[in-house]
Amino acid sequence: MSPSSPSSPFTYFVLTAVGTDRVGIVEDLANLVAARAGNIEESKMAVLGGEFAAVMLVAMGQADLERLEAGLASAAAALDLRLELKRTRQPEPVRDGRPYFLETVSLDTPGIVHAVTALLKQHGISIEELETETQPAPWTGAPMFRMRATLILGPQVAVARLRSELSDLGAGMDLEVSLKAAFNAPPE
């Protein structure tokens, strides 16, 4: 039986890892899970500054998970990482909502993430994923900020109104904002 089947005998947990970036960290983390017959279901990993950070959803048998929990401090020391484990539930498919992609591009200024996420919160919109990055602009080298998010809009969200409010926010903060339906969202 696979870890993602509905009647799974596996326990799910989120494993986070943070430490100084070096070659081999991803393999070390994958080995930590595989050596205990676990499965990495989802993961996000990045180098931020000089630090490596990973967040993984892992499925593992209860007995193996208990052994991992008992030995987590020694595993962290051996890998020279800060490791944290938090039990969670098996992921459920999104049933009631429409998936959308949001992207903003602008000069890097403080408050962009806060302003956009505050607007989304007002509409009761779930943020499934959010990623930001700052890179120098071609030719000028000015710091450009890009935010990408995957959203789930509930049936109560009026997309035209949301687009209008995002447009107003973009005009006020000098952001280029794009909201696009993912897959086949219902017509607006």
What is the domain partition of the chain in residue ranges?
Answer: 10-88, 98-181
Q: Quick one: tokens of 109?
A: 């200024």
Q: Comparing 10-88 with 98-181, is the CATH topology the same?
A: yes
* pLDDT for residue 8: 67
155 by DSSP, 3-state: which?
coil
Which CATH number describes the domain made up of 98-181? 3.30.70.260
Phi, psi of 156 (to 5 degrees): -80, -10
Distance CA 107, CA 143 (A): 6
Instruction: Give residue-wise pLDDT tens across range 59-94.
Output: 999 999 999 999 999 999 999 999 999 999 988 776
Closest residue by Cα to residue 42 from 61, 56, 25, 26: 56
Beta-bridge partners for 126: 152
- The Cβ of residue 166 has, within 10 Å, a number of other Cβ atoms equal to 19
Within the chain, which residues score under 50 in pLDDT? 1-6, 185-188
Considering only the top CATH level, what class is 10-88? alpha beta
